[in-house]
Amino acid sequence: MAAFYNQATLTFNGNVLTSNVTAGEIVEVLSADMDAVIATYSPDSSNVYIISIINNGSEDVSGLTVTSDLGAYTAGEDPQPKITVVPLTYTDGTVRYYVNGTEQPAPTVTSTSPLTVTGISVPAGGNAAIIYAVTTNQYAPYGEGASITNTATVTGAGLTEITVSAVTTPSAEPVLSISKSLSPAAVEENGTVTYTFVIQNSGATEATTADDIIFSDIFDPVLSELTASFNGTPWTEGTEYTYDEATGTFTSAAGQISVPAATYTQDTATGAWSVQPGISTLVITGRI
């Protein structure tokens, strides 16, 4: 609520009279909230934001504009100039508009950074929701204390601007990926081949042996005289892994694989973050 005051004056024959002071309150009929569907982010991850607007008034409100800054923040260190970077990228065509739970025709998007949506209406005693998807980009911050604060404003003629925000933080979980290569690509019959498996962790937390990561593969053709090593240390069959030479099935034992956390660096000139994944390597050699 906002209070307002008013006083009148009356002038006659060189005299000035003042009235009593009247006081009133402007009751704000709109309120809003903003939520992120996923509370955390990682490199190139997706998320969905929901901006909810409630009309507690007795009349419909139309012509609203909703603007999201997509987490814009100031980067850079002295003596370099400060720059504004935007860590979230709007996913084209994902804006959805609902009134009292019913989807409406897509509203007009006049800008994608900041994301600006116009023509929003909220019925008396009702609600509206704007939903849209984003992905993190090279400006998403990492490291201790990092977060993205996505702030949105709701504006309209004759209405008090409403500001809402949603905060997300980097994922505390390991983010793993694996790639496989073969050497040599062409091998003679009864020749020896080497499979190299690179396991990468782009998350801020180490994947430890307590995470019970299990690796498995079925080699075709089946390998004989198989040997395995992890990060340069030989593995022993029956201890670190099992191998069925009849089927070619290789399976690591639980608690044998760990992958260090990624490291993150921000370019103070551009504001962009680079990710150096933590890497572990499993090498399996055998005769086909």
Range of the domain at 282: 176-287
**The pLDDT of residue 24 is above 70:** no
Q: How many domains, the chain?
A: 2
214/176 Cα distance (integer angstroms): 12
The pLDDT of residue 158: 86
Q: What pLDDT is stored for residue 98 in this prediction?
A: 98
Which residue matches tokens 């000035």?
Answer: 16
Report the alpha-carbon distance of residue 135 to residue 43 in Å, rounded: 9
User: Cβ–Cβ contacts within 10 Å for residue 208, how many?
Assistant: 15
Question: The pTM is what?
Answer: 0.78
Q: Is 72 in the same domain as 125?
A: yes
Taking only the tens place, the pLDDT of each residue in 178-217 is 999 999 999 888 899 999 999 999 988 999 999 999 999 9
Residues 19-30, mean pLDDT to the nearest whole number: 76
Angstrom distance (rounded) from CA 62 to CA 30: 11
Q: For residues 37 and 125, state if they share a domain.
A: yes
Across the range 130-137, mean pLDDT stands at 98
Instruction: State both tokens at 191.
Output: 């020749």
The distance from CA 164 to its chain's CA centroid, rounded to whole angstroms, is: 18
Edge-first strand order for the sheet with 148-155 is 40-41, 162-170, 148-155, 61-68, 115-122, 108-112
Among residues 70, 60, 67, 71, which one has the least CA distance to residue 107?
A: 67
The average confidence (pLDDT) of the chain is 94
Over range 84-106, report the average pLDDT.
97
Distance CA(172)–CA(266), nearest Å, equals 19
Of 79-83, 112-116, 266-270, which gets the smallest average pLDDT?
79-83
Tell me the β-bridge partners of 155.
65
Euclidean distance between CA atoms 184 and 287, whole angstroms: 12
Return the percentage of the chain with pLDDT > 90, whole number.
81
Q: Please state, in angstroms and rounded to a whole number, the distance separating the CA atoms of residues 192 and 224.
A: 9
How far from the centroid of its chain's Cα atoms is residue 163's Cα? 20
pLDDT at 26 over 60: no
| One domain for residues 161 and 185 | no
- Among 136, 170, 204, which residue terminates a domain? 170
Do 152 and 68 form a contact (C-beta atoms < 8 A)?
A: yes
Last residue of a domain, one of 140, 170, 200: 170
| Cα 31 to Cα 53: distance, rounded to the nearest angstrom | 6
Read off the pLDDT band of 27 (50, 70, 90).
low
What's the CATH number where 210 sits?
Answer: 2.60.40
159 and 85 share one domain: yes
pLDDT band for position 1 (cuts 50, 70, 90):
low
Which residues is 12 bridged to in the sheet? Answer: 15
Output the CA angle 180-181-184, nearest 5 degrees.
155
> Residue 201 and residue 264: Cα distance in Å, rounded?
12
pLDDT at res. 223: 97
Q: Does position 144 have pLDDT exceeding 90, yes or no?
A: no
In a domain, 16, yes or no: no
SS3 content of the chain, % helix, strand, coil (to 5): 0, 55, 45
Same domain for 99 and 40, yes or no, is yes
- Mean pLDDT is lowest, of 14-23, 46-55, 65-74, for 14-23
Residues 6+ apart with CB under 8 A from 120: 53, 62, 63, 64, 65, 66, 97, 107, 128, 130, 154
Quick one: pLDDT at residue 97? Answer: 98
Please give the pLDDT value at position 2: 57
70: left (phi over 0), alpha (psi -120 to 50) or beta: left
109, 117 contact by CB (below 8 A): yes
Domain-embedded: residue 89: yes
Given pLDDT bands bounded at 50, 70 and 90, which one contains residue 29?
confident
Same domain, 61 and 159: yes
Residue 209 belongs to a domain? yes
> What is the per-residue pLDDT for 28?
65
